[in-house]
């Protein structure tokens, strides 16, 4: 496991711990692309590509998307060696209740949109205070 100058770590489980930079280099070399080719295809500087491949920098999701497009592979292949996507675990599904649908249409949607616009004009401290108040009101009404 490697880390960047901020101590960030990114492991990819491919049967053993692997740094994402190693996987990116492996895919690039399989495709017979140089770092310069990736630079041209992504707009990322070659020195940055080198830093990622050598584990000195952990790329963002947006950067990984650029790498996937440049390497002409689906995003999952950056994290998984198989030819097909990995099988999804059998995760129990949540039932969608009425409370999750609120604000998705009609007057509720109009109200929510208006509230969002007004909230966007308030300070961060006021937004936090409103969130705390809303959470307390939701807990109070849920416990009744």
pLDDT per residue rounded down to tens, the chain (144 residues): 444 333 334 444 444 445 789 999 999 999 999 999 999 999 999 999 999 999 898 899 999 999 999 999 988 888 877 777 777 777 666 555 545 577 777 888 888 888 888 888 888 888 888 888 888 888 877 776
Q: What is the DSSP letter of 139?
A: H
Write down the CATH number for the domain with range 11-78: 1.10.260.40
The residues, any chain, with a CB within 8 Å of residue 2's CB and separated by 6 or more, are 9, 19, 21, 55, 56
| Cα dihedral across residues 26, 28, 33, 34: positive or negative | negative
pTM exceeding the 0.85 threshold for the entire prediction: no
Q: Which residues pair with 19 in a beta bridge?
A: 11
- Please report, for the chain, the start and end positions of each structural domain, with discontinuous segments joined by +: 11-78, 112-144
């Amino acid at each position: 496991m490697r880390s960047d100058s901020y101590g960030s770590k990114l492991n990819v489980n491919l049967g053993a711990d692997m740094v994402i930079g190693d996987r990116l280099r492996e895919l690039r070399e399989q495709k017979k692309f140089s770092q310069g080719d990736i630079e041209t295809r992504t707009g990322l500087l070659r020195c940055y590509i080198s830093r990622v491949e050598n584990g000195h920098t952990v790329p963002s999701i947006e950067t990984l998307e650029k790498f996937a497009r440049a390497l002409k592979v689906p995003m999952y292949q950056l994290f998984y060696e198989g030819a097909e996507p990995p099988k999804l675990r059998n995760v129990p599904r949540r039932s969608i209740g009425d409370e999750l649908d609120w604000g998705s249409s009609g007057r509720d949607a109009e109200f929510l949109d208006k509230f969002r616009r007004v909230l966007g004009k308030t300070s961060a401290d006021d937004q936090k205070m409103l969130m705390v108040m809303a959470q307390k009101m939701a807990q109070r009404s849920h416990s009744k």
